[in-house]
Amino acid sequence: VFEDVAPGTLGVPTKLTDIPWPRTVEKSSLDCIWDASDCKNLKPIVRGGETAAMEQLERKMKMANWVASFEKPKTSCTTVGDNMSTTVLSPYMSLGCLSPRMFWWKVSDAYKRASVSPSKPPVSLHGQLLWRDFNNLMAHCANQETPGSWGKMKGNKYCRDIPWGNDEKLLKAWKGGQTGYPWIDACMAQLRNEGWIHHLGRHAVACFLTRGDLWQHW
């Protein structure tokens, strides 16, 4: 997929163009994703910004054998600090601080420097980058067939039309880590306190809220 893309990145623009605010959306109508009260005890383990993203990328890519032998199912939810068993780069990618193309080519370079044979997709780091865009690709295909269905369930041929619930009590219990399920509550507590959870935790809490147990609208 990415092999056909030039390994270089785009240069720094000489002039920034203002992006107009959508006419159909009032700024006053937008709410924060998380309330200030949700973050009052937050002690993030991830430092924000592009500089921090590049430092973390270089730190991980120096370990060529680790990069080459990486297999996502073998990573752990309980590793902390410098011993994290994953790259901890997902926050930077999701917020645009790190280019997925740069990440791809840095991994390719590490594979060449490694003294062990690289693991294969989908469990490898290259495989994880491909998985990252899977839903975007599906949404793009759906939108091509039915314009306007991007990011929606209704009218989307790839989505099952499920009558999701909208129970504020269930949502509050989920966000507050008060579901009564220790694994789910522990993951949500970590998210509130550290701003990040391992991908197994992310999968667990997302599925629990939706098709796994509570059947609440995502």
Q: Cis before residue 122, ω within 30 degrees of 0?
A: yes
Predicted confidence at residue 33, as pLDDT, reads: 64
pTM, whole model, 2 decimals? 0.76
Q: Judge whether 156 and 149 are in contact, CB under 8 Å.
A: yes
| Residue ranges of domains in the chain | 43-130, 133-161, 163-218
Beta bridge partners of 165: 216
Placement of tokens 């701003």 in the chain: 195
Residue ranges of the binding site: 86-90
The three-state DSSP-derived secondary structure of the chain is CHHHCCCCCCCCCCCCCCCCCCCCCCHHHCCCCCCHHHHCCCCCCCCCCHHHHHHHHHHHHCCHHHHHHCCHHHCCCCCCHHHCCCCCCHHHHHCCCCCHHHHHHHHHHHHHHCCCCCCCCCCCHHHHHHHHCHHHHHHHHHHHHCCCCCCCCCCCCCCCCCCCECCHHHHHHHHCCCCCCHHHHHHHHHHHHHCCCCHHHHHHHHHHHHHHCCCECC
Question: What integer pLDDT is reported at residue 8 of this predicted model?
Answer: 65
Task: Answer yes or no: are the C-beta atoms of 75 and 198 closer than 8 Å.
Answer: yes
Q: Which residues are annotated as a binding site for FAD?
A: 86-90
Taking Cα atoms as reference points, which of 193, 25, 178 lies closest to residue 208?
Answer: 178
Side chain identity at 163, as an amino acid letter?
A: P
| Structure tokens belonging to residue 189 | 């507590």
Residue 98 confidence (pLDDT) = 96
Residue 61 amino acid letter: M
CA 78 distance to own-chain centroid: 19
Structure confidence at residue 86 (pLDDT)? 93
CA geometry: angle 20, 26, 28, nearest 5 deg: 120
Fold of the 43-130 domain? 1.25.40
- pLDDT tens-digit readout, 74-115: 998 888 777 889 999 999 998 899 999 999 999 999 999 999
CA distance 112 to 122: 19
Positions in the chain whose pLDDT score sits under 70: 1-10, 33-34
